[in-house]
Amino acid sequence: DTGVSQDPRHKITKRGQNVTFRCDPISEHNRLYWYRQTLGQGPEFLTYFQNEAQLEKSRLLSDRFSAERPKGSFSTLEIQRTEQGDSAMYLCASSPGSRVRYGYTFGSGTRLTVV
């Protein structure tokens, strides 16, 4: 068990480009979450999956953002037409079941810089 893995760790992109991040949760964790964190703030919820079903999305997840978890294992988060305001740390977390019984395990995040 290597924990939650996120790739890449760092991404620098030009404004207007598309970027995609990958998250590999702990195996057999059926719940997967995406959060975004800007400097000096706590993480903000973006979306979550139970297996391959996307069950909740934040209003922060504009139509330029899309997340998938096609086979209920790894997940991708794509940002289209990036803007400077998208610069942040994107965190993925997973859980074996309801958060009420289990805490989340977070990855180390992907730091996105839009120039």
In terms of CB distance, is 54 or 73 closer to another protein? 54
Residue 54's identity, in one-letter code, is Q
CB of 96 to another protein, least distance (A): 12
> Between vectors from CA 96 to CA 48 and to CA 34, what angle results, nearest 5°?
25
Q: What are the residues whose beta carbons fall under 8 Å from the beta carbon of 52, sequence distance 6 or more? A: 69, 70, 71, 72
For residues 46 and 68, what is the distance between their CA atoms, to the nearest angstrom? 12
Which residues of the chain form contacts with another protein (CB under 8 A)? 4, 31, 33, 40-45, 48, 55-56, 58, 91, 93, 98-100, 103-109
Residues 6+ apart with CB under 8 A from 61: 46, 47, 67
Task: Tell me the closest approach of the beta carbon of residue 16 to another protein, in angstroms.
Answer: 28
CB of 90 to another protein, least distance (A): 10
Nearer to another protein, 58 or 87 (CB): 58
Give the residue with the Cβ less far from another protein, 16 or 97: 97
